[in-house]
Amino acid sequence: MEQIDVSNPVQVEKVERYCTLANVYYSLEKKVNSKNILTEIKNGSQKYIKTNPAVSEMAKINAQMINLSKDMGLSAPPPGVKALAEVGYKESDLI
């Protein structure tokens, strides 16, 4: 909350929505562990295996969280990526 204007209701709502999504994500993560990524479905005489639906929901929630963090200006580069200034590149290197 230190990084946003707490008097701006839109920014506060974005943070609250992000926290809600994070809670939903973590509750899904608890239910999906390495043993039940795939689930066995029994439908009458048929029996088949499919991906746990919570896995795809986790991916959707993750995408929403990434978009919200970008919208709030909180996104960070992927691990291992250095800023151009740290690497020593200049704009003239591209020409």
pLDDT at 24: 94
Separation of alpha carbons 70 and 40, rounded Å? 37
Instruction: Break the chain into its structural domains and give their ranges.
Output: 1-57
Residues of the chain with pLDDT under 70: 1-2, 75-89, 94-95
At 33 the pLDDT is 78
Kindly provide the b/e burial profile for residues 32-65, where b requires at least 16 CB atoms within 10 angstroms of the residue's own CB: beeeeeeeeeeeeeeeeeeebebeeebeebeeeb
Residue 73, classified by CB atoms within 10 Å of its CB into exposed (0-12), middle (13-18) or buried (19+), is exposed
> Residues with Cβ < 8 Å from 75, sequence gap 6 or more?
66, 69
